[in-house]
Structure 1
Amino acid sequence: MHIDEYPILVEQLCPGLFIRIDEPGLAHPFPPKGFKLRTDADVAKVMALGLAHVYCIPDKSDRLPISLEELDGLAGKRQKGPWTAARTPVSAELSSLKRETIERNKDRLERFAACEKRYEKAMDKVVEALKKVSSPNAEVLEAAGEVVGPMAETFLSDLDVLINVMTAKMRDEAKHYHALNVAVLSMMLAKEMGLDKAAIEEVGIGSLFHDVGKGRIPIQRFSKGNMITMNKVLKEYYMEHPKIGAKMLAAVPGFPPSAQMLVLQHHELLDGTGFPARLQGAAVALGARIAAVANVYDRLCNSKDGTPVRTPHEAMKALYKKRGPLDPKAVTMFIRKLGVYPPGSLVELSNTMQGMVVSANIRDSLRPSVKVYHPDIPKREALIIDLTIETELTVVKALRPEDLAPDVLQYLNPGKQVSFYVDAAPRA
C-alpha cells in the first residue's frame, strides 16, 4: 500500500474511480494491482463481493469517491450497506485534504527514513570520535570531520532545512546523543546567524566535544574523603570540566582554536554568572554563545537525574524565560528557526486530529508540518500534514504525552529522549 492510496467504503464507489482490492484469499476476477471502475455494472460487481472497503488510488482516478454526505441522499436509491455502523476508513478530515498533501507525503516519509539512517551512522562516528580523545592524535579531528562535514554541506545548500525528530534508541548512550544534538543545533544556529562554512564547521566540532571534560576526576581526590567531600569534589570538577576538556583538546594536532575556545566557554554567561571564568559580555566568544543556547535547549528537552521531562514546546518556552544571560540575538534566531512548536511537540489540530511536529516552518512558526494519528493508516505510512499547504487547519493547543491515549502515543512515538538530525527538502 502506497501513501497515495487510501481505504474507502464500498458504498462510496462510483464510475471513474481507480481502486485496488486487498483481501488475501478472496477469489475475484479483478487485476490485483488495481483497475478503473468504468460503469455502474463494474461498481455492482465489486459490491457483490461483500467487501466492507477497498483502496482508492486518487492519482489514477477521474473523480473523488462519493462523500459520506452524498450517501445519505442515495440511501433510498442504492442498497444500504453497513457504513452507518462501521468505522469510516476515509473520514471527513482526510477527504478534505489537498491533493498536494497526499502527493508529497510519500516523498517526505522516504526522506525522513533516510534521514534516520544517516543519524544512526553519525551516532556511531560520534562515539568513535569521543573515545579517541583519550589518546589525542590526528584521528580525533578526522573522526569529528566525518560527522560535521556532511552536516555543514546540508546547512550551506540552497535548500530549506528540516529538523527531523527521532527517538533515541539507547539510553546508556545519552551523553553521545547530547553531543550530537548540540552539534546539530549549534550548526543550525551558526548558519542562521550568518557564519561562513569554515566557521560553521568549527562550531560543530567544538560543540561535538563540549562536554568531553566531564567525569575525568583523578581517583586520588576521593581516596581520603567521605561522602560529603566526594559530593564537593564532584561539584568542583563539574565546574572545571570546560577547562579540562579544552586542555585535552589542545593536545589534539590541528584542533581549531575557536572550537577549543567554545569548549572552554560554553557555560559562560553574558552577565558574568557562568563558569569557569565568570566572563561577561563580549569576552564570551560567539561560538560559545551559540553552543550555550543549543546546550540549554537540549538539556531542557532531554532531562537527566530525574528532573521533570519537558516537551519541545515547553522547552522552548523555558528557554525564552531563561534568555536573560544568554545571547539575545542567538535566542531569537533559535526560536525563529525551530518555531513555537519545535520538532517533537505533540499538538492538536483544529480538525481534532492529534499529531507530532516533524519540521518547523521558518516563514510562519505557527504552521509546522505535523505527523498525525489516524487509525486507518499504518504507522509506517503516517500522514504528514504541512500546515502551509492545509491553510484551513491550525494548531489549537500543545499536548503532553499523558494527554494522549496509549495507542495514539505508541503510533506517534515521541520518545523520552529527543534527538535531532538535518535533512534538506526543495522549497515549496
Structure 2
Amino acid sequence: MTATANLLVDVDRLRPGMFIQLDLGWMEHPFPRSRFRLADDQQIDALRELGLRRVKVRADLSDPRAFDVPAEAATEAPHAADTTDTADAAHAIDAAAPTAAAVAAVEVAQAALTLAVRPAADAAVLRRERLRAQHESLARSERLHAQASRAWQGITRDVLQHPTLARDTATGLASAMVTQLCEDDSTTIRMLSEAAGTTSSQHAINVTVLSLMLARSLGLDEAQLHSVALGALLHDIGKLLLPDHLRHLDSDSSALAGREQREHVSQGLRLGMSMGLDAATLQVIGQHHELRDGSGLPQGLRGDEIARPARIVTLVNLYDRLCNPRHKGVPLRTPHEAQALLYAQRRNQLDTEVLTAFVKLLGVYPPGSVVQLSDERMAMVVSVHPMHPLRPSVLVYEPRVAPDDALLLHLVQETDLSVRRSLHPQHLPRAMLDYLSPRERVSYYFAHGLEPLPAQPVAA
C-alpha cells in the first residue's frame, strides 16, 4: 500500500466533488459519515457552521473537476516549490487554490517535509515538534476511544426499552470506526495510556478495533467491514439478559462457562432481532463461540459453516479474553503470551487463514508487550504498523527522561535495532516497571500520524 495524498484546504475553497475527511468524533458533526464526497454547497455551509477553517481532502478520491478553477485564480497561487523554507512552503500551498498544479506541489512539499535532512535545525526544537505530534496522536486516540465507550454505554442503557435507538447508536458507532480505520493506509493499532470506560465497553471496543484491522488485512470490502464492526460491537449484547450468577462467574469452570456462552448467544440473537439488525450482524452474534473443529457453541458448526466475519470475531474475542480475563482468579496473559497460546493450543479450532493473518498483523510482539531490544535496553511496545509488524514503535526505559517527555522509538526507522525477546512485567525491576507502566488491562484504538513511513522499504 502507498500513503494517500491528503491536502489541507480552506473551507472557503472547498468545492462539490471533493472527498473530505473530518477529524471529528462521529457525534461532533451532522453528517452520516466522517469521510465522504461533498455533494453540494449546503454541505460546505454546514462545515463553516462547525467553525472549521481547514478540512482534509483526499485528492485521489475526489472528482478531478472539483479542482478546476478560473485561470486568473490559478495564477494567484504562490510558487511554493521555489521557496527555501519548507514550513513557509507548506503554509503557502495550504492557502493556495487547490488546482491540479497545487495538488502536485503539496505532494512534493509533504515528501520534502518528511524526507529532507535538516542538519542546521535546532535539535531541541525538532524534538519538541515530534513530542507534540506524538502527544496529539495519543490524545486523539484516547478522545475517540472515550466517545466510543460513552456510545457503548448508551447502547446498553437503551437496548431493552428502546431497541431501535440502540440500533441507530450502534450503527453510527460502527460506521465511525470503519471511517477511522479507512482514513489512510497507515492506520496503526495503538495501546492507550489508561483503560477507559467499563470492562464491558473496553472489551467490545478492543474486539471491534482488532477485528476491523484484521478484516481489512484479509481484504474484506467496506460493506463487509461494516458487518464486522457492528457484529463485533454487539457480540456480547445478550449478557445483559443473563441472571447474575452467570453474568458474574467466580471461576472459569467449563460447565458454567458453557451454559453462559449458550444463553448469552441465544439472548443476543433475541435482542438483535428486536433491534432490527441485518442477517450478517446476527450471524456474528450467533456464531462468535463456534469453532472450526465443531467443538464450539451453541450449534457445533464446523469450518465454512461459520461465516467469515464470525471467524474473525471469534479469534479476536479469545485473544482479548486472554489479555483481559473476565472471570475472577484467571491469570492475565501478556499480549505476547496470549498470541502464543492461541497458536500453540487453539490453532486447530480457529480458521487457519484468519489466525495466520492475525499473527502477521500484530507481529510477534503485540502492543502492550514488554521487550528487550538488541542493544539490551528495556521497552514496551505501544504501536504496531500492519506493514511492518516485526518493527513496532516502543517506549524505551530512559531513567534520565521523564516518561511523559520520552519520544517513541520507531524501529521501522532504526535499521540496526530490533526486538530480542519478550519479557513478563513481573521480571522487571521496580524502577523499570513504574516507568514503562505496563497495563493490567490492555486497551487498543486506532492511531494516525504516530508512526512515520520509512524513506526506503524495511524488511518486516
Q: Is the TM value for this pair above 0.5?
A: yes
CA distance in 2, matches of 1:348, 1:404: 11
The aligned counterpart of 1:314 is: 337
Which amino acid letter does the alignment assign opposite residue 176 of structure 1?
Answer: S
CA distance in 2, matches of 1:143, 1:62: 48
Does 1:411 find its partner at 2:435? yes
Does 1:239 find its partner at 2:265? no
Quickly say closer, same or farther: Cα 1:194–1:308, change in 2 above 3 A: same
Map residues 38-53 of structure 1 onto 2, 5 A cutoff: none
**Displacement, 1:355?**
1.2
The aligned counterpart of 1:161 is: 187
Q: Which moved more, 1:411-420 or 1:288-297?
A: 411-420
Map residues 106-121 of structure 1 onto 2, 5 A cutoff: 106-121=132-147
The aligned counterpart of 2:58 is: none
Query: What 5-or-longer segments of structure 2 have no aligned partner?
Result: 1-116, 455-460
CA distance in 1, matches of 2:453, 2:413: 13
Which amino acid letter does the alignment assign opposite residue 123 of structure 1?
Answer: S
CA distance in 2, matches of 1:215, 1:252: 14
Which amino acid letter does the alignment assign opposite residue 139 of structure 2?
Answer: A
CA distance in 2, matches of 1:298, 1:168: 16
Specify which of 379, 391, 395 is matched with residue 367 of structure 1. 391
**Does the aligned pair in 2 maintain the 1:186–1:291 contact within 8 Å?**
yes
CA distance in 2, matches of 1:218, 1:312: 31
**Does the aligned pair in 2 maintain the 1:159–1:424 contact within 8 Å?**
no
The aligned counterpart of 1:137 is: 163
Which amino acid letter does the alignment assign opposite residue 135 of structure 1?
Answer: Q
CA distance in 2, matches of 1:355, 1:415: 13
Map residues 142-221 of structure 1 onto 2, 5 A cutoff: 142-169=168-195, 173-214=198-239, 216-217=241-242
Q: Secondary structure at the match of 2:317?
A: helix
**Does the aligned pair in 1 maintain the 2:195–2:442 contact within 8 Å?**
no
Does 1:284 find its partner at 2:309? no
CA distance in 2, matches of 1:413, 1:188: 25
The aligned counterpart of 1:302 is: 324
Map residues 417-428 of structure 1 onto 2, 5 A cutoff: 417-425=441-449, 427-428=453-454
The aligned counterpart of 2:365 is: 341
Q: Secondary structure at the match of 1:117?
A: helix
Q: TM-score, normalised by structure 1?
A: 0.70
User: Once the two structures are aligned, what percentage of the paired residues are identical?
Assistant: 35
Q: TM-score, normalised by structure 2?
A: 0.66
The aligned counterpart of 1:387 is: 411
**Displacement, 1:170?**
5.9
**Displacement, 1:110?**
2.2
Quickly say closer, same or farther: Cα 1:362–1:101, change in 2 above 3 A: farther
CA distance in 1, matches of 2:194, 2:265: 26
Q: CA RMSD in A?
A: 3.0
Q: Secondary structure at the match of 2:191?
A: strand
Quickly say closer, same or farther: Cα 1:114–1:157, change in 2 above 3 A: closer
**Does the aligned pair in 2 maintain the 1:373–1:383 contact within 8 Å?**
no
**Displacement, 1:427?**
3.7
CA distance in 1, matches of 2:283, 2:240: 20
The aligned counterpart of 1:256 is: 278
The aligned counterpart of 1:19 is: none
**Does the aligned pair in 2 maintain the 1:357–1:371 contact within 8 Å?**
yes
**Displacement, 1:112?**
1.5
Q: Secondary structure at the match of 2:371?
A: strand
CA distance in 2, matches of 1:349, 1:252: 49
Question: Can you list the C-alpha shifts for 1:365-423, whole angstroms capped at 9, x where unaligned?
Answer: 32111111212222212221111111111111111111222232222222100011002
**Does the aligned pair in 2 maintain the 1:182–1:208 contact within 8 Å?**
yes
CA distance in 1, matches of 2:193, 2:286: 30
Quickly say closer, same or farther: Cα 1:333–1:59, change in 2 above 3 A: same
Question: Can you list the C-alpha shifts for 1:220-272, whole angstroms capped at 9, x where unaligned?
Answer: x99xxxx9xxx97775243221121011110113x221111100000001111
**Does the aligned pair in 2 maintain the 1:353–1:372 contact within 8 Å?**
yes
CA distance in 2, matches of 1:387, 1:424: 17
Which amino acid letter does the alignment assign opposite residue 384 of structure 1?
Answer: L
Q: Runs in 1 of length 4+ with deviation above 4 angstroms?
A: 58-65, 99-105, 231-235
Q: Secondary structure at the match of 1:152?
A: helix
Question: Can you list the C-alpha shifts for 1:245-303, whole angstroms capped at 9, x where unaligned?
Answer: 011110113x2211111000000011110000001121111111010011011011112
Specify which of 120, 126, 132 is matched with residue 152 of structure 2. 126
The aligned counterpart of 1:22 is: none
Q: Secondary structure at the match of 1:366?
A: strand
Q: Rg larger in 1 or in 2?
A: 1
Which amino acid letter does the alignment assign opposite residue 127 of structure 1?
Answer: Q
**Displacement, 1:131?**
2.2
CA distance in 2, matches of 1:60, 1:187: 41
CA distance in 1, matches of 2:408, 2:188: 13
Q: Secondary structure at the match of 1:421?
A: strand
**Does the aligned pair in 2 maintain the 1:210–1:263 contact within 8 Å?**
yes
CA distance in 1, matches of 2:385, 2:214: 15
The aligned counterpart of 2:86 is: none
**Does the aligned pair in 1 maintain the 2:181–2:213 contact within 8 Å?**
yes
Which amino acid letter does the alignment assign opposite residue 400 of structure 2?
Answer: D
**Displacement, 1:100?**
9.1
**Displacement, 1:60?**
8.7
**Displacement, 1:155?**
2.0
**Does the aligned pair in 1 maintain the 2:284–2:307 contact within 8 Å?**
yes
